[in-house]
Amino acid sequence: MNLMKEKLAETWDKHAQYSEILQSVPTKKEVLESDDFIFQWLNKIKDKKKMKLLDAGCGIGQYVTGARLIGFNPKGLDISPESVKIGKERGEDIICGDIRKMPFKDNEFDVVIAGGSMEHFPETLKGLKEANRVLKLNGPFLLNVPYKYTLYIIGKKIQQIMGIWESGYEKSFSEREFRKKLNEAGFRVLEVKKTRIGDGSKFPKLVRVLQMVDGVMLKLGFGGHHIWLRCIKERDL
């Protein structure tokens, strides 16, 4: 566990500076009008000022900032000291820690989000159970993970073979298997969305071809890049 934790921290330390360049600080208007499903779901929650929100695996804190701008009392957690440093410099409440063993009390948060973080370590179920532990009963759990049955896998494999893949350990899931994990972790899935393969700067021609085929696959019920899930904590474990 310690070696894996160190490797994860090293990977995401390197990624943090790249993220800082790409991810500008969002405005409230951008958050309210965002096509990001997590922001859309957060926008619909009422009485935000009374709610403590945790972003588990927050990176440099884009969701933390967005949640604060629309009224939540947010906190971020990330395994990368460099990400935490950048997030704090941006004025956000972010601490360094491991999703698999979060430094928070039971039932401490009203809302938990995990935007693209639960796939980056082998013990995904352990991370989901920790999200359950720190979330209040019936609290929303909003997250996304890479989809397994997609052409995006081709682009990822090519980058890994060429040694230019920047996201370290990453696994993908079918909707069925991830629903099963969420249920085992005490959550009930309320809504599922999919996003298409996004633009890519390294192989733009390949990405355009993949996007065209992906559009057809989505109409047939496959394809996409990530699956996004809106859940509630149904029971304590």
Q: Where along the chain do its domains lie?
A: 2-146+169-197+225-233
Q: Which of 14-28, 93-107, 147-161 has the highest mean pLDDT?
A: 93-107
β-pairing verdict for 187-195 and 226-233: antiparallel
Q: How confident is the prediction for the chain on average, in pLDDT?
A: 85
How confident is the model at residue 16, as a pLDDT? 73
Beta bridge partners of 195: 226
Q: Check: CB of residue 120 under 8 Å from CB of residue 182.
A: no
How confident is the model at residue 194, as a pLDDT? 83
Q: How confident is the model at residue 198 (pLDDT cuts 50, 70, 90)?
A: low
Q: Which two tokens mark 24?
A: 């500008």
CATH code of 2-146+169-197+225-233, in short, is 3.40.50.150
More confident residue, 226 or 156: 226
Residue 22 clears pLDDT 60, i.e. is over it: no
Report the percent of the chain where pLDDT is more than 90. Answer: 60
How confident is the model at residue 220, as a pLDDT? 61
How confident is the model at residue 80, as a pLDDT? 92
